Structure 1
Amino acid sequence: MLDPNQLRKDLPAVTRALAVRGIEFDADRFNQLEARRKSVQVETEALQARRNAVSKLIGQLKSKGEDASKEMAESQRIPARLKELEAELAAVQGELNSWLTTIPNLPHESVPAGKDSDDNVEVRRWIPAGTEVGPDGCPKPLPFEVKDHVSLGEPIGLDFETARKLSGSRFMMLRGQLARLHRALAQFMLDLQTTEHGYQECYTPYIVNGSTLFGTGQLPKFKDDMFWVTKGGQGLEPELDEHGNPVEHEDLYLISTSEITLAGSVRDTIVPQQDLPLKLTAHTPCFRSEAGSGGRDVRGMIRQHQFDKVEMVQVVDPAKSYEALEEMVGHAETVLQRLGLPYRVVLLCGGDMGFGATKTYDLEVWLPAQNTWREISSVSNCEAFQARRMQARYRPEKGKPEYLHTLNGSGLAVGRALVAVLENYQQADGSVVVPAALRPYMGGIEKLNA
């Protein structure tokens, strides 16, 4: 959530920053709400001061034996008005907060303006040694008829038909060699992030409550993108509080990324500064309704309702968050380099960034069958946007607790990595070479054959 103090101190700067994202901030609405808030607050403070003054005056009059009935009558009216003002202030503050929860994060000054992916800026690209490159800087077409990952995968275990029968469209089932390759990718990614990059491996819940989703920014704006598990705890075993009263359950949802649980683990906490940075990783399934995706990527594994991802999250001292962002991009790049997959790093423009991000890099892998680059990882700095919603703070050596900065990134999306391996390592006979980095996880298998 945006910092209300920043809005009050420099509203024009906030408005300009949001314009980079293509957001027209309603400054008039904010000013009206602020005027109402200030008016109520001023009257409340004046009335509280008057209450204290009247109370003191009553004491003085009584000590002198004088009539204080007028002052006592006034003192009896004040609490009722204070209660009214308290309700008014809560209503104004509630309206303001509810509105602000729908406003995205402010972009960093280095983020280019733009509406969509066409306005993103390529930072660099990496092509494996020995790969022929065309005049456009992209890998040259393979010297045989290229197959896409569906045609390559179906003979070795990619089964959409059974998945469709079990669950519907946008699900997949993997069997045999392909299921093992999928598992090998996830294990390789986890081992790399934990043994070389210093992340702590976590096993997290796949089901979370609404408060957790609000903290990381999925709710309320992206409710339609989530899969509900229960509404209001329906079907759950009744739970009683310490007084024996039924506990009211929140709605429960399937996670769309383990960023939710990893970053959410510091909700309502104060982390000692010496414990920073926290570097967390997890391999989980992710569940997304893909609301609004329409007919995009209907063939294959690119856009699924259920997919696996190895996520990276860092929780850091604000002074070090942009250093951490570059580091995390490098951690994701290492995965692709070890797999020998061509990729490029792209800085997202304001209009293409995620809701909570202040700066985002996408890693796009080369897919020969599509003859284009496709996103396989997104790494973002959210600064204090999530921390403010989660009330996640750290305690400096001196001074009061301050909000942490949170960062997240894919390290990587397992299904898309599988797609990239199949297409980039395909052979003319339809077989697929197993990347050297994955062979220890595949029992030494060097090639997948139908």
Structure 2
Amino acid sequence: MLDSHLLREDPEGVAEALAKRGYTLDVAAWRALESRRKEQQTRMEDLQAERKQVSKAVGEAKKAGDEATAAERKQRAEAIGSELEELEKAFQATKTELDAWMLEMPNIPDPGVPVGEDETGNVEVRRVGEPPAFDFPVQDHVDLGQGLGILDSEAGASLAGSRFTVLRGAGARLSRALGQFMMDLQTDEHGYTEIAPPLLARGTTLEGTGQLPKFGEDLFATEGEDPFYLIPTAEVPLTNLHRDSIAETADLPARYVAWTPCFRREAGSYGKDTRGMIRQHQFDKVELVQVVHPDDGPVAWEVMCGHAEEVLKRLELPYRVVELCTGDLGFAARRTYDLEVWLPAQEAYREISSVSWCHDFQARRMGARFRPEGEKRPRLVHTLNGSGVAVGRALVALLENGQQADGSVRVPEALRPYLGGRASISG
């Protein structure tokens, strides 16, 4: 959520910043609504002050034996009470309208973000590793997996419908090995605390990180007036560990990692990546979250990107780092790097991780604060999140980049201890 004080003081500046990411803020409508709120609040404060004076006057009149004046003042106090009751209802309605509007406003892009309308405006930062050269016909991960008997799309569709896959034998073990390898790396070497969070969350929890109300159609939810939602990413429960809390400066940065299933309807993606495991309704992901001092946000963002990159380096996967432009930023992000892994069958780099610095946007929605040393008032923390990385897409990349002429797949050295020392997967 954006700073309401900033919106009140400089709505034109906010509108200009949001326009760079394709969001139109109707400044005139915002000013009118904010003016109404201010007028109602001022009137309420005036009436409350008058009621206090009138109540005092009632007591003084009674003490003086002036019953007529006391009755007159009492009547006025009752009239003020009735007016206040109606005004408070109107004020709450105005405030609710303002709050709902603010919940739908995306984060303001950092001044350093490249300006662009969509993904075509993203800027490549660096490439790491060389795409492999093959002297045989390249297969995609679906054909490779089916040939090895480790990937079964038909069974997934039979059990649950489209965009579900069953992994068998070495495929299931490979997925488990990838997740375990990533968790060990982030906890043992990068200092993240492992968390096993609930896979269901309340609506207020998803509101805190920005998934609601904006992306409600992409969530799986239970029925009822107060539904639970299957988490679309472990970012939701991990970041909300600091909801409505005040951390001590010494407790920052807080680093969390979780390996969980994630659930998404993939609304709006019909017809895209329908083959294989690139875009699934259910997928595993290792998620990184940091809660940091505001002064440390930009540096923590770079460091977290490095933590995700290290996964790809050790898996010997060629990739590139891309900074997202203003028009391609996620709702809550102030700045984002995408890590894109090379997929030989597509002859393209595809996203496998997004690493975002959210500034105080999520913290304001959640009420996540810290107590600065030497200061009386708490301040909002900064939050960051990133995939470290998507397990299914890492499996896809390993199959395609590690494929051999005989249909087997080479296992990178870093992963072999998690597969009983196996150097390859064969049928």
Same fold by TM-score greater than 0.5: yes
**Is 2:377 the counterpart of 1:400?**
yes
Cα contact 1:360–1:379 (8 A) shared by 2: yes
Cα distance in structure 2, aligned partners of 1:289 and 1:205: 19
1:96 aligned to 2:102?
no
Aligned residue number for residue 227 of structure 1? 220
The CA distance in 2 between the partners of 1:49 and 1:289, in whole Å, is 53
Match of 1:183 among 161, 176, 181: 176
Instruction: Provide the aligned length of Structure 1 versus Structure 2.
Output: 423
Q: Distance in 2 between matches of 1:180 and 1:106?
A: 42
Q: Counterpart in 2 of 1:247?
A: none
In the TM superposition, what is the alpha-carbon distance from 1:140 to its structure 2 partner?
6.2
Instruction: Choose the corresponding residue for 1:312, options 275, 288, 291.
Output: 288
Contact 1:142 1:368 in 2 (8 A): no
Amino acid at match of 1:154: Q
Match of 1:151, as an amino acid? Answer: D
Residue in 1 that maps onto 2:142: 150
**Deviation sequence 1:331-377 (CA, Å, 0-9, x none):** 00111111111111111011111111111100001111111100000
Q: Does 1:333 align with 2:309?
A: yes
Once residues 28 and 63 of structure 1 are traced to their aligned partners in structure 2, the CA distance between those partners, rounded to angstroms, is 52
User: In structure 2, how many angstroms separate the alpha carbons of the residues matched to 1:4 and 1:404?
Assistant: 17
Spell out the pairing of 1:119-138 with structure 2 (5 A cutoff): 119-127=121-129, 131=130
CA RMSD after TM alignment: 1.3
User: Aligned partners of 1:22, 1:221: CA distance in 2, in Å?
Assistant: 15
Alpha-carbon separation, structure 2, partners of 1:436 and 1:261: 33
Q: Tell me what 1:434 maps to.
A: 411
1:54 aligns with 2:50: no
1:184-199 superposed matches below 5 A = 184-199=177-192
Aligned 1:223-372 pairs, distance under 5 A: 223-232=216-225, 250-372=226-348
Residues 44-78 of structure 1 show CA distances to partners (whole Å, capped at 9, x for unaligned) of: 11112212222333344444444413323212211
Q: Name which of 80, 96, 116 aligns with 1:114.
A: 116
Distance, in Å, in 1 between the alignment partners of 2:274 and 2:60 is: 82
Select 2:199's aligned residue among 203, 206, 211. 206
> Which residue matches 2:353?
377
1:421 aligns with 2:409: no
Structure 1 contact 113–349 (Cα < 8 Å) conserved: yes
SS at match of 1:228: coil
Contact 1:20–1:112 (CA under 8 A) maintained in structure 2: no
Post-superposition shift, 1:114? 1.2
Structure 2: gaps (5+ residues) = none
Q: Is the 8 A contact 2:147 2:407 kept in 1?
A: no
For 1:43, the equivalent position in structure 2 comes to 43
Cα distance in 2, alignment partners of residues 226 and 62 from structure 1 = 63
User: How many Å separate the matches in 2 of 1:197 and 1:299?
Assistant: 35
Counterpart CA distance in 1 for 2:257 and 2:55 is 59
2:132–2:401 Cα contact (<8 Å) kept: no
Match of 1:31 in 2: 31
Is 2:19 aligned against 1:19? Answer: yes
Shift of 1:102: 1.0
For 2:358 and 2:138, the matched residues in 1 are separated by 40
One-letter code aligned to 1:406: T
Q: Residue 394 of structure 1: CA displacement?
A: 1.3
Task: Tell me if structure 2 keeps the 8 A contact 1:317–1:405.
Answer: yes
Report the CA distance between 1:14 and its aligned residue: 0.6
Unaligned runs of 5+ in 1: 132-138, 233-249
C-alpha distance in structure 2 between counterparts of 1:23 and 1:78, whole Å: 42
TM-score (norm 1): 0.92
Q: How far has the Cα of 1:395 moved from its partner?
A: 1.6
Inter-partner Cα distance in structure 2 for 1:286 and 1:63: 70
Q: Distance in 2 between matches of 1:159 and 1:75?
A: 75
Q: Provide the TM-score with structure 2 as the length reference.
A: 0.96
